[in-house]
Structure 1
């Protein structure tokens, strides 16, 4: 180990997360030392949980010659734990539930949207609209003037929520979250 090297705190790989994400996190934390292949290999086991550490300890001595080989073997061994990106059409399954708030629907939608790979902003923005009830004011607005991307969709959702809150307040009905006791 180099002089003055302090092992950074790691999230332990627990076989429940994506191995690629774990490696990316490890490399990010070790970013000052990525040029030192031997150090990257020596420190890597300290980021592993019990199962992965048993795998590491079972590697034949001398079978790994570089950090990239170690990562390749790690990824192959734990490939079944890899996160599979959702297809963009998975967004079509998200519908606003009866009695659900726009906030809750949008939250579930963004969570699934973040699991999708690729640049599908127009399709994603359109599927959000389709998931809204037919008589919902925001759906009508998004149909008349479709958003060009996710940023614009998010802005329109916030504007709609603000407008709805303003209407409730002007009628003397404060929204649930702004009511005082």
Structure 2
């Protein structure tokens, strides 16, 4: 539990401010939870010392039955005996602090004005108030000069309220911009993550392709683009070599004697030629055999020669 604050002491020697003393007592009572003003009247004499307690002992208690009455009598009795010129000099030196509100500044100025023996006119109080304001507020007040002290006070209060509103709006806008920036940053992070994922996929595909190139394939995995058959590649295709031999020998693949379809056709032609030679005259048979030999066995001259001799022998039998 927090300890209660102690009340200040007042001696009444002319060096203390009675208004400030009463205000300090009120603040401490409120802090300590004492809100009954009758209790304030009861506790106040305990703060007095010296000349001040003598004054309270001799005064008529009926005049100070309430706290406002006691505070007023106390202020009048122990008012600081200062020359008004000294107070005016202090007023000229009174300026609004950097973080001080208009209400607090005005209260300090009123406190000094209340200590003067003769109160100044409204125009003078207005000038003192405006001259003590911050530079930014003073500059705005000089654009349209106020008509009275009260007018100056109300206008400055409105300006202060507008400034607070604008500052609050700027803070909200700044907070909104930070949120947008964080969202853009998260979007950039997501895009960066997607790029990294694509790069990883490309690296994986590159490794797989490299592995495929170094892999030994079986016959079932190989497919020839030349003959469209499985079991070999285009470079090792046997039909490709077969086509090249046919080109060197001077005939097409369809006419090649090593092609099984072409060979059956040629064998039929040979049998027909042999039968025709058997029943033909010698000169005609030799001419026919020569034609058959040159047409059917153009790529195998030895075999064609033997067949020609055999046919000639058969024709003379």
Relative to the length of structure 2, the TM-score reads 0.28
Query: Max radius of gyration: which structure?
Result: 2
Instruction: Say which structure, 1 or 2, has more relative contact order (CA 8 Å, 6+ apart).
Output: 1
Structure 1 or 2: more helix by fraction: 2
